[in-house]
């Protein structure tokens, strides 16, 4: 659904004028603090996966009020985009609760989930980091061979033809085309030509994204596309160009947002409210069909700390209980691949997200900043955990007990996490398969998680 597309774009040009600093310091920051206090939102350290329905509903009400009162800021025009309560209610009612994504035999339903839903989450695999150009096809093949993968947001290219990719430069166009074509080739090679892509991460600019929209060799209308947000709660004309193009081309738009714990939102309470409000920004301003959430800790660049797992659980529950919007939860971990700590983090994030009503987008290891450090194995664990806890009907109370046990295994390491291994070290590049020692580690971790109460399906 594109909600009154051109009315929104008109407001981005003609809304209330305000300088950016004034918007941040006189509207956004006090706006968040005000609703947190008004709705009595309190973080509970002992319960990273709360079972408090009333709290989830208060977070929803706070997010609604914040969105309607503060509005969204356009950095280029210095205008505030605002909506009435009636318009918001209309859009929430009209928004589809599910989408058929991908093509042919590879098409899947990407839909809304309820709190403690027994339906498995839709799982998008994504390493969220850059890889060497010469290994790009191999890593795409490795991810696409994963059975529980419903969609893929492929790794990002840093170079093309030996040149560093720069936004809004011809090299970005070349790298983005190479990215898109390699994805399509890899999908055909593994027998999944119609699989859902969320692409392409290499195309940072609006020009780059528009360039790869081609159903023959590039990104198809059956695929997903992302439009981000500027910290916090802001957009610009380039992002609005992307949003408009996605709807006109026919792709499924995804609102890519990550409220920062320790930033303008403050602590866990404000971060949960802001991430909930981002769903409304994605629906109303960027016209998106799904919301992709990655709130993260300012210090650790991850959302697997105790505070952030609470945030993940609470915004997911707030949306699941009060809307039928389609959302997914993007795991950002602290440790690197091939470490036990990463698997514990991945499991904790998957459990907290799944039982709280979210779909999964997994997994960005090593604080999402180390080249080549991401593999399908941590994503596989997240997916298998998510499917397991959904099918077995795990409650939030049960999930909370397990997540606390997992936190006890890695909380003391967050300030000095293991960096782990690269894809090239853990996988046979030619066969795009993990080496035996890393599969043995994976199986050992699964046995340990089984002992905690996760009933794996295979």
What is the CATH number for 109? 3.20.20.460
| Class of residue 370 by CB neighbours under 10 A (exposed 0-12, middle 13-18, buried 19+) | middle
Give the number of domains in the chain. Answer: 1
pLDDT (0 to 100) of residue 2? 65
Q: For residue 238, what are its two tokens?
A: 């380039």
Q: Does a structural domain hold residue 309?
A: no
> How many residues are listed for the chain in this entry?
458
- Could you say which DSSP state residue 4 is in? S
pLDDT higher than threshold 70 for residue 349:
yes
pLDDT in tens, 275-305: 999 999 999 999 999 999 999 999 999 999 9
Domain contains 24: no
Residue 17 lies in a domain: no
The residues near 312 (Cβ < 8 Å, ≥ 6 apart) are 293, 295, 303, 329, 349, 352, 353, 356, 358
Residue 93 lies in a domain: no
- pLDDT tier at 260 (50, 70, 90 boundaries)? very high
Mean pLDDT over 225-241 rounds to 97
Could you read off the pLDDT of 186-202 as tens digits, one per residue?
Answer: 999 999 999 999 999 99
Residue 333 lies in a domain: yes
- Local structure of residue 231 (DSSP, 8 states): T
Q: Is residue 81 one of the residues assigned to a domain?
A: no
30: pLDDT strictly greater than 80: yes
Give residue 312's pLDDT.
Answer: 98
Question: Does pTM top 0.85 for this prediction?
Answer: yes
Q: Where in the sequence is the domain holding 242, given as residue range(s)?
A: 99-226+237-254+318-451
Is the Cβ–Cβ distance between 368 and 128 less than 8 Å? yes
* Averaged pLDDT of the chain: 97
pLDDT band for position 457 (50/70/90)? Answer: very high
**Residue 334 belongs to some domain of the structure:** yes
Which residues pair with residue 196 across a beta bridge? 151
> Measured between alpha carbons, how far is 210 from 77 in angstroms, rounded to an integer?
22
How far is 157 from 137, CA to CA, in rounded Å?
11
Mean pLDDT in residue range 368-387: 97
- Label residue 128 by pLDDT band (50, 70, 90): confident
The answer to whether residue 174 is domain-embedded is: yes
């Amino acid at each position: 659904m594109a909600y009154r597309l051109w009315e929104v774009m008109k407001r981005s040009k003609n809304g209330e004028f305000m300088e950016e600093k004034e918007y941040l310091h006189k509207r956004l920051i006090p706006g968040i603090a005000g609703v947190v206090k008004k709705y009595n939102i309190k973080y509970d350290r002992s319960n990273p996966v709360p079972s408090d329905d009333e709290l989830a509903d208060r977070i929803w009400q706070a997010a609604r009020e914040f969105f309607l009162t503060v509005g969204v800021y356009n950095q280029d025009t210095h205008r505030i985009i605002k909506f009435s309560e009636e318009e918001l209610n209309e859009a929430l009612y009209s928004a589809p609760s599910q989408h058929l994504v991908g093509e042919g035999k590879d098409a899947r339903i990407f839909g809304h989930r309820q709190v403690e839903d027994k339906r498995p989450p839709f799982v998008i695999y994504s390493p969220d980091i850059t890889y060497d150009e010469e290994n790009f096809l191999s890593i795409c093949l490795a991810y696409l061979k994963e059975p529980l993968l419903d969609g893929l947001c492929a790794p990002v290219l840093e170079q093309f033809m030996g040149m560093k990719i720069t936004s809004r430069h011809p090299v970005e166009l070349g790298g983005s085309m190479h990215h898109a074509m390699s994805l399509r080739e890899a999908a055909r090679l593994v027998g999944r030509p119609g699989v859902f892509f969320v692409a392409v991460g290499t195309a940072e600019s609006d020009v780059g994204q528009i360039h790869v929209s081609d159903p023959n060799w590039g990104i198809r209308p059956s695929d997903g596309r992302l439009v981000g947000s500027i910290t916090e709660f802001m957009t610009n004309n380039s992002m609005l160009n992307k949003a408009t193009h996605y709807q006109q081309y026919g792709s499924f738009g995804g609102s890519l947002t990550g409220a920062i714990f320790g930033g303008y939102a403050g602590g866990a309470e404000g971060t949960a409210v802001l991430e909930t409000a981002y769903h409304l920004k994605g629906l109303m301003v960027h016209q998106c069909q799904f919301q992709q959430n990655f709130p993260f800790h300012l210090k650790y660049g991850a959302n697997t700390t105790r505070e952030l797992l609470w945030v993940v659980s609470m915004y997911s529950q707030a949306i699941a209980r009060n809307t039928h919007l389609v959302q997914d939860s993007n795991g950002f971990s602290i440790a690197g691949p091939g470490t036990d700590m990463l698997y514990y983090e991945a499991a904790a994030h998957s459990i907290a997200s799944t039982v709280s009503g979210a779909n999964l987008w997994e997994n960005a290891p090593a604080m999402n900043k180390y080249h080549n450090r991401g593999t399908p194995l941590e994503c596989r664990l997240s997916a298998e955990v998510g499917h397991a806890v959904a099918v077995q009907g795990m409650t939030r109370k049960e999930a909370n007990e397990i997540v606390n046990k997992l936190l006890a295994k890695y909380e003391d390491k967050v300030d000095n996490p293991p960096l782990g291994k690269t894809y090239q070290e853990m996988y046979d590049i030619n066969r795009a398969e993990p080496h035996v020692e890393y599969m043995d580690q994976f199986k050992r971790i699964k046995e340990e998680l089984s002992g905690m109460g996760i009933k794996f399906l295979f």
